[in-house]
């Protein structure tokens, strides 16, 4: 039973139609979650005791930083699936992740800099987490660069898949860097497993809503780009006729 589902996901027309159906749902859910998150974060939640109103950057900084890691993990997992089970659709998923990953990472660095300026007194520090997040940005750009540099699509897919899998080592480094080094960043207050979050609910709810909003946004964008990838890779299939004319 489970294998049938797995095999269906290997079929480009099935995935295309599934993506087309899911995208508007994801988009609207994302919009609703982010609307609540923005209003809750910008208007309703109280000012922070130490940082005043300035802490509100949290609602865009933390989700983008978290998403930058998520996107890379998705890319790496899709690449691994594609290499192990030789599933072309998985390659298309990985290919669709590059731009968004770079965007989220760049946003995380930019918003982090704007937050660090007033709060830490410095717009840029060679702090471990910042260094490795910068490396992550370079990883995304390198991934896209390698894909562009290799001519044959199939070979580009597979070589980039190896790159994505090998480079995933940076994700745990970024996550645990605040524990391994004495860093300007505070240790995890939301993501600690098994212990209660240390943030008041009025701040936590909009933050979580933004997190999930970003996830659904990424989902909608990924499915859109995935559809574009699937279309451009299928050369001779008749399913294109049904789907595109519809």
62 Cβ neighbours under 8 A, 6+ residues apart: 190, 207, 210, 211
Is 173 an interacting residue with respect to other proteins (CB under 8 A)?
yes
Is 89 an interacting residue with respect to other proteins (CB under 8 A)?
yes
Is 22 an interacting residue with respect to other proteins (CB under 8 A)?
no
For other proteins, give the closer residue by CB, 107 or 193: 107
Residue 34 and residue 227 in contact, taking contact as beta carbons nearer than 8 Å: no
Binders of other proteins among residues 174 to 203 (CB under 8 A) are: none
For other proteins, give the closer residue by CB, 140 or 208: 140
Residue 113 and residue 124 in contact, taking contact as beta carbons nearer than 8 Å: yes
Binders of other proteins among residues 128 to 157 (CB under 8 A) are: 131-132, 135, 138-139, 141-142, 145-146, 149-150, 154-155
Residue 127 and residue 184 in contact, taking contact as beta carbons nearer than 8 Å: yes
Is 18 an interacting residue with respect to other proteins (CB under 8 A)?
no
Alpha helices by DSSP H, 40-87? 58-85
* Chain centroid, CA 11 distance in Å: 24
Is 235 an interacting residue with respect to other proteins (CB under 8 A)?
yes
Among residues 40, 45, 60, 93, which is the contact residue for other proteins, using CB under 8 A?
Answer: 60
Tokens read off for 35: 């609307």
> Which of the stretches 73-81, 109-117, 189-197, 198-206 binds other proteins when contact is defined by CB under 8 A?
109-117
DSSP letter at 157? H
């Amino acid at each position: 039973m489970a294998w049938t589902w797995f095999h269906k996901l290997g079929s480009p027309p099935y995935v295309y139609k599934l993506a087309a159906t899911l995208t508007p749902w994801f988009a609207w859910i994302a919009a609703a979650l982010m609307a609540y998150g923005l209003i809750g974060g910008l208007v309703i939640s109280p000012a922070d005791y130490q940082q005043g109103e300035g802490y509100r950057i949290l609602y865009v900084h933390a989700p983008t930083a978290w998403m930058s890691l998520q996107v890379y993990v998705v890319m790496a997992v899709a690449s691994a699936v594609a290499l192990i089970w030789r599933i072309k659709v998985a390659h298309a998923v990985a290919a669709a992740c590059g731009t968004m990953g770079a965007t989220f990472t760049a946003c995380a660095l930019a918003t982090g800099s704007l937050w660090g300026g007033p709060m830490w007194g410095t717009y840029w520090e060679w702090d471990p987490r910042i260094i490795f997040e910068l490396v992550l940005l370079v990883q995304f750009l390198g991934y896209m660069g390698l894909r562009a540099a290799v001519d044959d699509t199939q070979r580009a897919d597979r070589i980039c898949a190896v790159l994505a899998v090998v480079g995933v080592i940076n994700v745990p480094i970024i996550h645990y860097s605040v524990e391994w080094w004495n860093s300007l960043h505070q240790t995890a207050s939301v993501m600690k497993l098994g212990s209660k979050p240390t943030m008041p609910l009025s701040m936590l709810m909009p933050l979580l809503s933004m997190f999930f909003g970003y996830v659904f946004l990424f989902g909608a964008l990924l499915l859109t780009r995935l559809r574009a990838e699937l279309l451009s890779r299928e050369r001779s299939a008749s399913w294109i006729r049904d789907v595109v004319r519809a």
